[in-house]
């Protein structure tokens, strides 16, 4: 059994600011740091640091070779990443405010240059019993999901960033849907409001996708797990956050790692909550992800 993360690889330009830039405002940043990032890369690193044999597929430009070094240093097999000469690596412009919150602008770059032939070549090395982890930062997702399902792979989807491409996916083929309350509202096509009930939303998602296990993250209000046999909430571990970038990716990677290591769902959710709590106390995306030894 292996996990294939077919996902994004980004160069993150992180600006430390007093507050997020407002319309028409010019704002001096306190600092600029360049990190490896992308939801795909972050989740692959989280899985590998949690001890899961992890393979990564995707695409970069020549400017992104250091991202492969970061993945390899964490123990990820990068043999399925294409290096393209005709496009630059995807990147993100991140504002990180004094409260530790962030807002992000993404440029797809090579992440949007995935071809069906690359998908076929990558998936030819995987089959029944293997897991496929996806996010919404690369193209050809419907084709990837359909081909992986035909091969008998378990499909795990983090539908972020949420847009019409996610609604076009055959979500009924997804085994695990990992999402936050904003994405849940967009999938359910309604405004959830400020005072949402996580267990009610998880139930509603389960009714929409009865064959899919739901992992719903709620920021400081914790998370909720729901499948055919159980529904429960997981609280957060309170810490002083300095940067929430990659907290969700860390949670996703460690939850899946917990399941694959034989832990019950309650244990996997608790493990993920601990890992995410550590991640938000550190700056950067991939560099903030803890090892399993730290979490334990």
pTM of the entire predicted model: 0.92
Give the residue ranges of the chain where pLDDT is below 50.
Answer: none
Confirm if 61 and 107 have CB atoms less than 8 A apart. no
Alpha-carbon distance of 51 to 61, in angstroms, equals 28
Q: Which two tokens stand for residue 218?
A: 């709620």
The predicted pLDDT at position 194 comes to 67
User: 45 — phi, psi (to 5°)?
Assistant: -65, -40
Average pLDDT, the chain: 95
pLDDT tens across 44-65, in order? 999 999 999 999 999 999 999 9
The predicted pLDDT at position 286 comes to 87
The predicted pLDDT at position 190 comes to 83
The predicted pLDDT at position 41 comes to 97
The predicted pLDDT at position 101 comes to 87
Confirm if 184 and 200 have CB atoms less than 8 A apart. no
pLDDT tens across 261-282, in order? 999 999 999 999 999 999 999 9
Residues in the chain, how many? 296
Alpha-carbon distance of 160 to 24, in angstroms, equals 28
Domains identified in the chain and CATH numbers: 3-8+39-57+114-295 (3.40.1190.20)
Beta-strand runs (E) in the chain: 3-6, 10-16, 31-37, 54-60, 77-83, 90-96, 102-107, 131-135, 154-158, 176-180, 213-217, 223-226, 231-234
The predicted pLDDT at position 5 comes to 98
SS3 221: helix
């Amino acid at each position: 059994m292996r996990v294939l993360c077919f996902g994004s690889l980004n160069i993150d330009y992180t600006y430390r600011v007093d507050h997020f830039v407002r319309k028409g405002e010019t704002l001096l940043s306190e600092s600029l740091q360049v990190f490896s990032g992308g939801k795909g890369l972050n989740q692959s690193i989280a899985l590998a640091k949690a001890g899961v044999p992890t393979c990564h597929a995707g695409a970069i430009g020549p400017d992104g070779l250091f991202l492969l070094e970061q993945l390899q240093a964490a123990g990820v097999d990068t043999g399925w990443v294409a290096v393209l000469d005709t496009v630059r690596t995807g990147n993100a412009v991140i504002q990180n405010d004094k409260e530790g919150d962030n807002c992000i602008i993404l440029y797809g770059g090579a992440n949007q240059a995935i071809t069906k032939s690359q998908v076929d070549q990558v998936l030819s090395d995987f089959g029944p019993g293997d897991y496929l982890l996806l996010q919404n930062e690369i193209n050809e997702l419907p084709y990837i999901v359909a081909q992986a399902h035909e091969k008998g792979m378990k499909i795990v989807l983090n539908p972020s960033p949420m847009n019409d491409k996610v609604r076009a996916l055959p979500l009924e083929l997804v085994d695990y849907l990992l999402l936050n309350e904003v994405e849940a509202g967009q999938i359910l096509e309604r405004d959830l409001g400020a005072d949402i009930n996580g267990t009610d939303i998880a139930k509603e998602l389960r009714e929409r996708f009865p064959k899919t296990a739901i992992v719903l993250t709620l920021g400081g209000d914790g998370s909720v797990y729901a499948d055919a046999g159980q529904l429960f909430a997981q609280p957060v571990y309170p810490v002083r956050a300095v940067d929430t970038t990659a907290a969700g990716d860390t949670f996703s990677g460690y939850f899946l790692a917990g399941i694959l290591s034989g832990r019950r769902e309650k244990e996997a959710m608790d493990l993920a909550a601990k890992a995410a709590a550590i991640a938000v106390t550190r700056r950067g995306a991939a560099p903030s992800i803890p090892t399993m030894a730290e979490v334990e």
